[in-house]
Chains A and B, each alone.
Chain A
Amino acid sequence: MDAPVLDVKGLKTYFFTDEGEVPAVNDVDFHVKRGEVLGIVGESGCGKSVTSLSVMGLVPSPPGKIVGGEILYKGEDLTKANDKRMRQIRGNDIAMIFQEPMTSLNPVYKIGNQLIEAIRLHNRWDKKKAWNRAVEIMKLVGLPRAEELMNSYPHQLSGGMRQRVMIAMAMVCEPEVLIADEPTTALDVTIQAQILDLMKRLNKETDTSIIMITHDLGVVAEMCERIVVMYAGKVIEEASVSTIFKEPKHPYTVGLIQSVPDMRDKKDRLYSIPGTVPKPGSIQKGCQFAPRCEHAFDRCFAETPELENQEDGSRVRCWLHNS
């Protein structure tokens, strides 16, 4: 068993706003191994983006702050790393692709300028060598007419192309871990499939570990080996993809799986979990999912369950499966 490249333990990231404390990430545990694709799923607002920004050390501060836990990158705790060390790690060891391809590139600089900047930040290369590397990576991510694109501005590219540029920029320094925060949500379906294929290929070819953040279980089924389910700032289940789809344990995961549209049986109505995600911090006591859970019993409202190991190797945070 090799040690995980990235190991997040008990991460807590709170926002201290005028309306009070918002525990956006409140006890998140997961790890990624070398070359693995890990999926993180959960409804909108459950803290997926804040988790990834915490790993990058880019939580907007103020109002945000990591208040607890550890982020171990090859054994080094990033929550204690200084600014200089974090800058070395960002882009070079851990890179990130964002949810918003349309606005994630600087509109007033050419694509080439932005790519070469990323390369020369972490490598002492001359302009020529950096330029060649940039063209090479653009070809690798399947961008046509790479040389010409180097001299284009972001507004001249489509959303899919921009996201490819973002992927190229993230991959250009060959990071150990790539965090992809809903890389395809803003794109249309055919482009989505292409981008996912590309990421799968890059993962195979470069052995980069990928953390795939999404609320689309279809994407997870396609891409990932292991999956972490988040709910209201907490990890509530972690298991291999096959276990999750065959035997989901947490009632929330069960609901999620049931709400995936299934092509084979043409049910008229999709199942959807009743109720809505609670505002972070609004439920102080007991299981966060209790108000929406059809299996909830007394204990669920009184005590907060922990993430516990199961016999089949998965981990679940639910009193039905915990002792």
Chain B
Amino acid sequence: MFAYTIRRILMLVPVLIGMSLIVFFLIRAIPGDPAQIILGQQASKEAVAQLRDTLGLDEPWYVQYFIYMKDLLTGDLGNSIRTHAPISEEIWPYFAATLELSLFAMFIAVVIGVNAGIISAWFQNSWFDYVAMLLALIGVSMPIFWLGLMEQWAFAVEFRWFPTSGRESILNPVDSITNLYIIDTIIQGRFDQLQTVLRHLTLPGLALATIPMAIIARMTRSSMLEVMRSDYIRTARAKGLRMFWVVYKHSLKNAFIPVLTVIGLQMGLLLGGAILTETIFSWPGIGRYIYDAIGFRDYPVIQSGILVVALVFVTINLLVDLLYAAIDPRIKYQ
């Protein structure tokens, strides 16, 4: 397993190089002189020339790429044009906000989706099955932008059960350590703040969780139905095992293998969806960070933001593959 993990990570190297190349050229494919665009039409010749020099734009492309890669490998993402701060330092709080929201949403989606799928399969054609699958059908076709707005209007504006926007109470801000606020508040023992943080997470988290939850529920159900027809499930029952264990031990571990694929894919899409949701709920996440940078033509930030998001996609894929191997002993580590 260890060797397999290492090999799997090494296989990422060409993927990462490819990704960095794409991002590198994409930015440079935008017509016009970046320095001019950044500074605006009124800027003086000298100012543009100076910026071209700081950005290294006068070097040939391979030299630029080489420098860019060298910086990347040393963890240097360049400086933001807008704030002049190093992006590698600036990006983390935004990234952490998105990560927390996505993981929170995925947690809800997996816990509810998987269990709904299991119960629907176990009691196939029961009223629970019908209701759950109807909801799932509605869920998969739900535009999350609209859902987010509706939730905000109903539960935050009309009923005032949840805050409308942000990650924390402005009057009682969290002292950030990791910038993952659930963790931060727990290690500081600030359970009052933990509650506020969870309340802020609820609405955007639910909006984000809806589609993955519905897809996971449907996938779990069909996968479970197939597994529960198999011979080894009959064997488990022939031993005298109670149905609960037949379902949650013998069936689930097998049925989870295809569900894992879906979770991996959805986790990737979730990050995309997070950007929409972040806009609605004013969530200070990576989506907002990139979005604001686009408005300001802050190229280094756009470039690094995209790269970080792409890196997350690749990491999720890696994790899914490693989990496969951990669950299914038939996957040969070669």
B45: A residues at CB distance < 8 A: none
CB contacts under 8 Å to B, within A166-222, are: 166, 169
The stretch among B85-93, B100-108, B235-243, B294-302 that forms the contact with chain A is B235-243
Given A98-B231, A98-B234, A104-B234, the answer on whether A155 and B239 have CB atoms closer than 8 Å is no
The stretch among A117-125, A126-134, A241-249 that forms the contact with chain B is A117-125
CB contacts under 8 Å to A, within B1-47, are: none
- Tell me the bound Cα distance from A212 to B138 in angstroms: 52
| CB of B232 within 8 Å of the partner chain | yes
Q: Is the pair A87, B231 in contact by a Cβ cutoff of 8 Å?
A: no
| CB of B254 within 8 Å of the partner chain | yes
B329: A residues at CB distance < 8 A: 107-108, 153, 155
Number of interface residues of B (CB under 8 A): 20
- Tell me the bound Cα distance from A308 to B334 in angstroms: 64
- Tell me the bound Cα distance from A105 to B233 in angstroms: 8
- What are the interface flags for A133-173 relative to B under an 8 Å C-beta threshold, 1 for contact and 0 otherwise? 00000000000000000000101000000000010010000
| CB of B186 within 8 Å of the partner chain | no
The minimal Cβ–Cβ distance linking B302 to chain A, given in whole angstroms, is: 44
| CB of A92 within 8 Å of the partner chain | yes
- Tell me the bound Cα distance from A91 to B250 in angstroms: 17
Nearest A residue to B332 by beta-carbon distance?
A155
- From the candidates A60, A91, A109, name the one contacting B239 in the complex (CB within 8 A): A91
| CB of B323 within 8 Å of the partner chain | no
Q: Is the pair B235, A90 in contact by a Cβ cutoff of 8 Å?
A: no
- From the candidates B238, B239, B330, name the one contacting A107 in the complex (CB within 8 A): B330
Q: Is the pair A106, B240 in contact by a Cβ cutoff of 8 Å?
A: no
| CB of A24 within 8 Å of the partner chain | no
Q: Is the pair B232, A92 in contact by a Cβ cutoff of 8 Å?
A: no
| CB of A259 within 8 Å of the partner chain | no
| CB of A95 within 8 Å of the partner chain | yes
- From the candidates B229, B234, B241, B250, name the one contacting A121 in the complex (CB within 8 A): B241
| CB of A300 within 8 Å of the partner chain | no
- From the candidates B232, B242, B327, name the one contacting A106 in the complex (CB within 8 A): B232
CB contacts under 8 Å to A, within B296-334, are: 327-330
A98: B residues at CB distance < 8 A: 231, 234-235, 238
Q: Is the pair A89, B240 in contact by a Cβ cutoff of 8 Å?
A: yes
The minimal Cβ–Cβ distance linking B120 to chain A, given in whole angstroms, is: 16
Output the residue of B229, B236, B242 with the most chain A CB within 10 A: B236
- What are the interface flags for A76-109 relative to B under an 8 Å C-beta threshold, 1 for contact and 0 otherwise? 0000000000111111100110101001111111
Nearest B residue to A57 by beta-carbon distance?
B237
- Tell me the bound Cα distance from A88 to B242 in angstroms: 10
- Tell me the bound Cα distance from A317 to B330 in angstroms: 50
A109: B residues at CB distance < 8 A: 250, 253
Nearest A residue to B250 by beta-carbon distance?
A106
Given A91-B238, A107-B330: 17 more A-B contacts, CB < 8 Å: A87-B242, A91-B239, A92-B240, A95-B238, A96-B238, A98-B231, A98-B234, A98-B235, A104-B231, A105-B232, A105-B235, A107-B329, A108-B329, A121-B240, A121-B241, A153-B329, A155-B329
Interface residues of A (CB under 8 A from B): 56, 58, 60, 86-92, 95-96, 98, 100, 103-109, 117-118, 121-122, 153, 155, 166, 169
